[in-house]
A = this chain, B = another copy of it.
Amino acid sequence: MLTLSTDFGSPYPAAMKGVILQATDTRLVDISHDFPRQDVRATAFWLREVLPYFPPAVHCVVVDPGVGTDRAALVVRVGEHAIVAPDNGVCLPVARELAGEGDVIEVFEIEYDTPDSATFHGRDVFAPTAAAVHETGVGSLQDTASLARADDYVDLTFPDPTVSETGASGEILVVDGFGNVITNVPGDAVTGVFGQQVRINGEPVQVQRTYAAVPTGQRLVTVGSHGNVELAVNQGRGDEAFHVGPGDRVELSY
């Protein structure tokens, strides 16, 4: 199985699929081609949320603002998964999430010939590498001539929140397509106060387990499917109602 994650929209990913299908007849699964454009951090968040639900696979990830520069191209192996991605940190959070008990994260650098085009390494570097990794087998990467172990690569981490007895102080990580505002505050900061009110950046808001527990159009604080505190509106957009976006601070007080 080979999954594809890009910010390319349409139709560029199809060229990647063509290249891959020249080399393998494995199943292809689109994770998304609508990741926020050139937003390495948001993509890293979503990959961490989604890829762990998959059986062992090769994951081809191309959100790559540095395309054509001298940034490296990587294959990251963890357990029975391999992630092929530019060296910008996009795949490190999910690699840590995929790592089971005793699993080591191994990083290889892809030695590739510079393609004619400097603007579409998704098609010319990452797609053929992902297909080759799939055909070689994730277990044999260390014997692949075009891969060299890399010691020095770009990492990416999400900020830690501060949780206390009076509340929590954190950051907005991403906003999803529904407008739900996903914070880095762990859900258990509010699971004890379902049905009650907390203050979000000073304003009172109800905490509820489900969106539908408040009237349509009303704001709520809930725990999202990622397990974090989420700012939402029942059948509406939380980002607009709370006037916040990625990177903004969120102060929660009981």
The residues of A with any CB-CB pair to B shorter than 8 Å are 1, 3, 5, 8-12, 14-15, 17-19, 21-22, 25, 27-35, 37-38, 46, 49-55, 65-69, 116-120, 123-124, 176-178, 209-213, 222-225, 227, 230, 235
A33's closest neighbor in chain B, by CB? B10
Q: How many Å lie between the Cα of A8 and that of B50 in the bound state?
A: 14
How many copies of this kind of chain does the complex include? 3
B177 to A21, Cβ gap below 8 A? no
B123 to A53, Cβ gap below 8 A? yes
Specify which of B52, B54, B66, B118 is in contact with A21 (CB 8 Å cutoff): B54
Q: How many Å lie between the Cα of A225 and that of B31 in the bound state?
A: 23
Q: List 23 A-B contacts (CB under 8 A).
A: A3-B14, A10-B33, A11-B31, A11-B32, A11-B34, A14-B30, A14-B53, A15-B50, A17-B54, A21-B27, A21-B55, A22-B53, A22-B55, A28-B29, A37-B235, A65-B211, A68-B209, A68-B210, A68-B213, A117-B227, A119-B211, A119-B222, A120-B224
B212 to A66, Cβ gap below 8 A? yes
A31 to B53, Cβ gap below 8 A? no
